[in-house]
Amino acid sequence: MQELCLQASRTGAGVDRTEHIDAWLFGVARNVLRRHWRTITRRRRNLPEARLDVGTELADMLDGEPLPNDYIERREVRQQVLLALTALPTDDQNLILQHYFDGQSQADIAAALDVSVRAIEGRLYRARQTLRERLRHLEDELR
């Protein structure tokens, strides 16, 4: 509704508001909804499919013995993160692993890849966004 009001206020300057306002508002609403569904479809189309077997295998390798009840939730979260990480493109996986798991600085990664630090910042941002979307997707699947 907020988006509809915003679009109506932006495009309604030349509209005669006394006649056919309902039809005009329905047209604006239809366009807002089309844009919304187009965006959602694009996001879903760009998500890679998770390889469940690889994520489970990784989690099992990292967990040797049963954990106390306090750590069960952490273990499940870690498994979900690893599963989502395996669904990322290889370059994004490597970048996240190098920076967050191996502790390499952005400058070190940039030097190794022969790119600017700013480029690594952008790539890390996009990789985190993709990982966040993948985690949301996994959460929806588990529900």
Q: What are the pLDDT digits (tens) for 57-95?
A: 766 766 665 556 656 777 777 888 888 888 888 899 889
103: left (phi > 0), else alpha (psi -120 to 50), else beta? left
C-alpha 37 chain-centroid distance: 16
Quote the CA–CA distance of 117 and 137 in Å, as a whole number.
30
DSSP summary character for residue 69: H
114: left (phi > 0), else alpha (psi -120 to 50), else beta? left
What percentage of the chain has pLDDT greater than the value 90? 19
DSSP summary character for residue 50: P
Query: Per-residue pLDDT tens for 37-46?
Result: 888 777 766 6
**Which position has the higher pLDDT, 92 or 8?**
92
Q: What is the mean pLDDT of the chain?
A: 79
Q: How confident is the model at residue 117, as a pLDDT?
A: 93
Q: How confident is the model at residue 29, as a pLDDT?
A: 83
Quote the CA–CA distance of 110 and 5 in Å, as a whole number.
45
Quote the CA–CA distance of 70 and 108 in Å, as a whole number.
36
